Amino acid sequence: TYIIAEPCVDLLDRACVEECPVDCIYEGERMLYIQPDECVDCGACEPVCPVEAIFYEDDVPDEWEPYVKANVDFFDDLGSPGGASKVGKTANDPAFIKGLPPMNT
């Protein structure tokens, strides 16, 4: 799967959402998250993010490793809804994301 990391926090550009063919990029209050079971690894989202926040899971920089778990934990309650557009914005950001200081604004 692909992972969204820290440059997305508080920026939420959403260019990636337009590109995803399976609508698997879900919105929290601080950033967006890729549903790992729904992502088909097409990679279309990665080049369109203006701040290079999206990485293939094996290529996430060490400093942003906690975001791999965050992209999974975001879906603890949501599960696999099968489409982000019908879900809309949620308050499911993991605790460590909620606790981050304001950034990237």
Interface contacts to ligand F3S, rule CB under 6 A: 2, 4, 8, 11-16, 19-20, 22, 24-25, 32, 34, 39-45, 49, 51, 53-54
Q: How far is the CB of 16 from ligand F3S (least distance, A)?
A: 3
Q: How far is the CB of 56 from ligand F3S (least distance, A)?
A: 8
The CA-CA-CA angle for residues 17, 41, 31, to 5°, reads 35
Contact at 8 Å (CB) between 27 and 88? Answer: yes
Residue listed under structure tokens 């997305």: 8
Contact at 8 Å (CB) between 92 and 77? Answer: yes
Q: How far is the CB of 90 from ligand F3S (least distance, A)?
A: 14
Judged by CB, which is closer to ligand F3S: 22, or 73? 22
